[in-house]
Amino acid sequence: MTSTVTSASDIAAKSSGQNLRFYGVWVVAAIALVALPLIFSSGGSLTSFSLIGIAIIFALSYNILLGETGLLSFGHAVHYGLGGFAAVHLMNAVTAHGWPIPLPLIPLVGGIGGLGLALLIGWVMTRRAGTVFAMISLGIGELVASSSLILRSVFGGESGISTDRTALPHIFGWTFGPQIQVYYLIAFWVLVSAIAMCALTRTPLGRICNAVRDNPGRVEFIGYDPHVVRYLAYCFAGFFAGIAGGLAAINFEIANSAYLGAVQSGMVLFATFIGGASYFFGPILGAILVTYLQLGLTSVTSVWQLYFGIIFIGIVMFAPGGIAGLLMMHRPLIRARTLGMVIPSYLVAALPTLALACGVILVIETVARYATGGGEGSIVRLFGIPFNTTAPATWGTAAVLVVGGFIVARITWRRITEAWDRAASIARDRGYLA
């Protein structure tokens, strides 16, 4: 909790004189979004970027709940899914009736879909925070996902409802057939939504959300109803999740029950938490990483889920602030110019830690290969080095890497802690660290 408190005060201190920097960041982001497809132009990379963009909006919307308001939801995907369905239905209606609504406006309809559901169910859901909220969200998530298979006329059963994005009225000669045009559409909405959500955190509502998260009792004393605040936050989160869902519907040209399910809800939780819920940019990092891992890991290993689990457990145990938390830990050190004191110990620790990681990977892959039935395919390649899963040498190497790596790594980790403490105490003396 301490990190979240400092972040709030951080932002408060920053917001006074750093508007220029604020705009600068977004301009750089915009340029990066425009330039990306010029550098990587293959169909696959465009698809990846589009998915990452959608995931970013979705994760940021989730963080309005988790990071800003302290609401842990296990059913955020219902808003994403509803947004997707709203978008698909409208796209089909536009095509059927010839309404003059161009595609770029469709995500807004997705947002309204997500918002509509949030308005409807949010009031009862947000009466309480904590576990009660988490459980209700789990129940609602299951309910909506199951009813999507029962209400076939709306959700199209398990095959879903498909649509054709090119059939909508074209503007500026853009048909949105090619993926590159869809990418730019998504990029545009990513930028707009991210700016909107970032701005939201700086409004009084955003601040009072933080207060509700940290101490709802005191919020009540100063005259706000935490229930109303939570409800408002929930509606905003639903709206932006709906935008993400609408974009996903445009990207895939199909909406189905997989949008609403527990897997989708779990993924956004993963992304937000791994990235770091305490900082605005945390979910962005998380969304990029998780989407990338999802796309990349699945093509190299069949047990990608295990790596996901391990990474997640590792983050929860050793870096509960997520990647963003890890990065931001160093900010006071940089300011106090004491970062140099910890870098050497990082470098020393890198080698044994890497060895440990390789050992773990080797063990997992070997066991996975070995268990799924040997044969001639049971060769694990690590750094291009072939390891035969049945050879004792492989098992030996793995054991040495894991055990040896762990013993050495533990010593170096201790040194990191010591170096860190020294650097931090100097930073504290210089007044950069509370």
Partner 1 sequence: MLKMTRVIAVALPMLSGAAYAQDTVKIGYIDPLSGGGASVGEGGLKTFQYLADELNAKGGILGHKVEIIPLDNKTNPQESLIQAQKAIDAGAHYITQGNGSSVGAALEDFVTKHNTRNPGKEVLYFNYAAVDPSMTNEKCSFWHFRWDANSDIKMEALTSYMKGNAAIKKVYLINQDYSFGQSVRTQARKMLGEKRPDVQIVGDELHPLLKITDFSPYIAKIKASGADSVVTGNWGQDFALLLKAAADAGLKVNWYTYYAGGAGGPTAVKQTNLDHQVFQISEGIPNSGNEAAMEFEKAFRAKVGLSLWYPRAVNEMRMFKAAAEKANSIDPVKVAAALEDLKFDVLDGGSGVMRKDDHQFFQPIYISSFGSRSEKEPFDEENTGWGWRLVAKIDTPQTMLPTTCKMKRP
Partner 2 sequence: MLELIVISTLNGVLFGMLLFLLSSGLTVIFSMMGVLNFAHASFYMLGAFFGYQLTKWIGFWPALVLAPLLVAAVGMAVERYGLRNTHKHGHVAELLLTFGLAFAIEEIVSMIWGKSPVDYRVPAALDFPALTVFSTNYPAYKIFMLAISALIFVALLIALKRTRVGLIVQAALTHPHMVGHLGHNVGQVFMLVFGVGSALAGLAGVIAGPALVTQSDMAALLGPILFVVIVFGGLGSLPGAFIASLFIGLVQTFAVALNGSLASAFGPLDPSIGPSVLTDIWNVTIAQIAPVLPYVLLVFILIVRPMGLLGTRET
Distances (CA, A) of 105 to 54, 61, 248: 16, 19, 14
Name the packing angle between helices 304-318 and 262-275 (round to 10°): 40
Which one, 318 or 383, has the nearer CB to partner 1?
383
The answer to whether 128 contacts partner 2 (rule: CB under 8 A) is yes
The binder of partner 2 chosen from 367, 382, 408, 426 (CB under 8 A)? 367
Q: Is 16 in the site for partner 2 (CB under 8 A)?
A: no
Site for partner 1 in 340-369 (CB under 8 A): 358, 361, 365, 369
User: Which of 9, 15, 19, 146 contacts partner 1 by CB under 8 A?
Assistant: 146
225-264 residues near partner 2, rule: CB under 8 A:
262
Structure-token pair, residue 229: 């605040």
| Number of residues this chain uses to bind partner 1 (CB under 8 A) | 54
CA distances from 64 to 67, 89, 116, 230, 266 (A): 6, 27, 17, 10, 16
Q: In the Cβ-directed half-sphere of 317, how many Cα atoms lie within 13 Å?
A: 6
Quote the CA–CA distance of 88 and 199 in Å, as a whole number.
Answer: 29
- Strands (E) in 31-174, as ranges, are 161-162
Q: Does 95 bind partner 1 (CB under 8 A)?
A: no
Q: Is the dihedral of CA 195, 226, 276, 235 positive or negative?
A: negative
Q: Which residue has the tokens 């199209």?
A: 156
Least Cβ distance, residue 156 to partner 2 (angstroms)? 11
The item of partner 1, partner 2, none sharing an interface with residue 151, based on CB under 5 to 8 Å by kind, is partner 2
Q: What are phi and psi of 380, to 5 degrees?
A: -100, 130
Q: What is the DSSP letter of 98?
A: T
Decide: is 130 part of the binding site for partner 2 (CB under 8 A): yes
**Binding at 320: pick from partner 2, partner 1, none (beta carbon under 5-8 Å per type):** partner 2
Q: Residue 134 or 306: which CB sits closer to partner 1? A: 306
Interacting partner of 40 out of partner 2, partner 1, none (Cβ under 5 to 8 A depending on kind):
partner 1
309 is a contact residue toward partner 2 (CB under 8 A)? yes
C-alpha 154/C-alpha 85 separation (Å) is 8
Q: How far apart are CA 408 and CA 401, in angstroms?
A: 10
Site string for partner 1, 269-298 (x = CB under 8 A): --------------------------xxxx
Cα dist from 338 to 6, 321, 323, 424, 434, whole Å = 20, 21, 21, 8, 15
Q: Tell me if 93 contacts partner 2 by CB under 8 A.
A: no
The distance from CA 122 to its chain's CA centroid, rounded to whole angstroms, is 22
Binding site for partner 2 (CB under 8 A): 1, 72, 124, 127-128, 130-132, 134-136, 138-140, 142-143, 146-147, 150-154, 262, 266, 269, 273, 303, 305-306, 308-310, 312-313, 316-317, 320, 364, 367-368, 371-372
Binding site for partner 1 (CB under 8 A): 40-45, 47-48, 51, 146, 149-150, 157-160, 162, 164, 166, 177-178, 248, 252-254, 256, 258-259, 263, 295-305, 358, 361, 365, 369, 372-373, 375, 377, 379-384
